[in-house]
Structure 1
Amino acid sequence: MAVNTWVVVADGSRARIFETPGLRLDLREIEDLVNVAPSGATLTDKDREKFAKTVADYIEKGRVHQRYQRLRFAVEPKFLGMLRARLSEETRQMIFEEINEDLSALDAREIQAHLQRH
């Protein structure tokens, strides 16, 4: 069975999820989740917490449906804490790398290049 890795790139307003075979960095974007908090308003911690739950639910659903076997996070530090707190123990055990950086504004090629340096 082929091993898939999901790469989650996120901050409190946007989460992009990429899929790549094994440990290679051949990113293919499969989801772009956007925080639906009122536009123009500054995101509150409550908005970010709610969004962390949305992202965690998507990641959990992927695990249940066996869409990946490994997780790699490149997430803004504060949001990473919120996200981890909402993941099950089974899902947290699938995380093999965490980068405490917000790369969500970069395109797939730039994200790939950045991850290869880590």
Structure 2
Amino acid sequence: MSIWVVVADASRARIFSADKSFSPLVEEEDLSHPKARLHAQELETERMGRAFDSTGEGRHALSREVPPKKQEAQRFARELCERLNTARASGRFERLYIIAAPAFLGILRNCLDDTMQKSVAGTVDKNLAAHDVEEIRRQLPRFL
């Protein structure tokens, strides 16, 4: 039985594997999304437009539907979900645990398809992407 543990935030995802429920975690991949580390103003390519009020002479700035930082997090989550779907379909793991920063965990859940959602054995809403493997293992159930 193969088990995968994904530890992620909006800019980094680490994938660990364990052969058995009590095996130590072995890091398989370390994915990076550097754009998520940029400031919002660095992500914006142009200034937002301005619009006239329907009455009077006022003008106001238009706003984005989704802020640039969140767009980058969504882009990285979709990329990660695609990688996980491919790995699950090819039989690289049977069960999946996800440890992710709370905001990113929500974005990640939204992009997991129904089959992948059934493979998720548990989630932890903590940002441990930069922590060592021992700390990550302590956040998981004793027997995966």
Q: TM-score, normalised by structure 1?
A: 0.88
1:65 matched residue in structure 2:
90
2:17 matched residue in structure 1:
19
Structure 2 counterpart of 1:5, from 3, 6, 13: 3
Letter matched to residue 10 of structure 1: A
The percentage of counterpart residues that share the same residue type is: 32
> Which has the greater radius of gyration?
2
* Alpha-carbon offset, residue 84 of structure 1: 1.3
Task: Tell me, in whole angstroms, the C-alpha distance in 2 between the residues paired with 1:108 and 1:31.
Answer: 13
Task: Tell me, in whole angstroms, the C-alpha distance in 1 between the residues paired with 2:11 and 2:37.
Answer: 10
- Alignment of 1:28 with 2:21, yes or no, is no
Task: Tell me, in whole angstroms, the C-alpha distance in 1 between the residues paired with 2:108 and 2:86.
Answer: 14
CA-based RMSD of the aligned residues comes to: 1.9
- Alignment of 1:95 with 2:132, yes or no, is no
2:57 matched residue in structure 1:
none
Letter matched to residue 35 of structure 1: H
Gap change, CA 1:38 and 1:55, over 3 Å in 2: closer
Between 101-110 and 33-42, report the one with greater CA deviation: 33-42
Q: Unpaired segments of 5 or more residues in structure 1?
A: none
| 1:44-72 CA distance string (max 9 Å, x none) | 00110100011111111110110000000
Letter matched to residue 34 of structure 1: S
Runs of 4+ in 1 over 6 A off after TM superposition: none
Structure 2 counterpart of 1:56, from 69, 78, 81: 81
Q: TM-score, normalised by structure 2?
A: 0.73
1:104 matched residue in structure 2:
129
